Amino acid sequence: MAQTFAAIGDPVRLTIVDRLTHSDATVGELVSMFEISFQAVSQHIDVLERAGLVTRRREGRTRRVSLQAARLDEAAGWMDARRRRLEERYARLDDVLAGLTAPEQGDRA
């Protein structure tokens, strides 16, 4: 999971992933989105590929990049589980705090 979050933690790589959610793209199309070199974009794609977020395949003289949504789904599931756990903890804290303030209100009546 750490490799996934590290990969999308960079703004260039996050932009690439966001672009690939719409459709596959050639490396050249991805390069045209940035003011950085072809080699730099290729290195960013390498990081995404090692994290399992994208795949590259050769089509004639070009390389097409595809998003592997399953890795993003895993990351979303991991975050959702943590969110639910935090919500449960906050609900318990709310119950404790409500119990602490309830006697004070009863004493005033």
Per-residue H/E/C for the chain: CHHHHHHHCCHHHHHHHHHHCCCCEEHHHHHCCCCCCHHHHHHHHHHHHHCCCEEEEEECCEEEEEECHHHHHHHHHHHHHHHHHHHHHHHHHHHHHHHHHHHHHHHHC
More confident residue, 67 or 102: 67
The domain ranges of the chain are 2-70
Q: pLDDT class for 64, splitting at 50, 70, 90? A: very high
The CATH number for 2-70, chosen from 1.10.10.10, 3.40.30.10, 2.60.260.20, 1.10.3470.10, is 1.10.10.10
> Quick one: pLDDT at residue 107?
57
Mean of pLDDT over the chain: 90
